[in-house]
Chain A
């Protein structure tokens, strides 16, 4: 089955700086990679996703990059703001069969005002 590793587990950045969270996956058949954000006491919510036919995807201040050869993908948040403070989860899954979405272990991001 799929195994997703996520680093770092905690990250503190100054407001306005950039934050990068990295994930690696084990199953070369995986080709869908979403990122979820979970604010304190709230539910996880999808913020961006990428499929294996794309190397990078941007949505305003967030971007995700994918390196299929190396089996890793990253979340980049630029111009960080206090509301970016949350736990971020990467995940990986395959299109085919009944493969489940496997989540990484989460990164607690704290934005320092």
Chain B
């Protein structure tokens, strides 16, 4: 059973389109995250939710909107896609309220390519 699963794994789309990435965790964790990994492998946090409540919102364009229907799911919707949005997006979860005291469990990543 996959602990943190995200779909789709690959996404190729045109500039200006809107797309969504879904994430689900079956670990019973309260906190979920979206991280962006660019072509240089830099890992940067985008959002963090604790029990459906947004607790971290980095300086991310308004075109990115996370949604957490319940604590086991955290989806990411991106409007008006731009070339610079091309990256691998990782969903993650952790047991603790914040990521600093416990292990982050990452999903397999969703590679987004904007043409």
Contact = CB atoms under 8 A, between A and B. Distances in A.
Interface stretch (B14-22, B39-47, B66-74): B39-47
B98 interface: yes
A30 to B, nearest CB: 8
A102 B43 CA distance: 8
Contacts of A103: 42-44
B71 to A, nearest CB: 17
B107 A43 contact: yes
Contacts, number: 57
A14 interface: no
Interface string A28-59: 00001010101000111110010000000000
Given A43-B106, A43-B109, A44-B90, A99 B43 contact: no
A101 B99 contact: yes
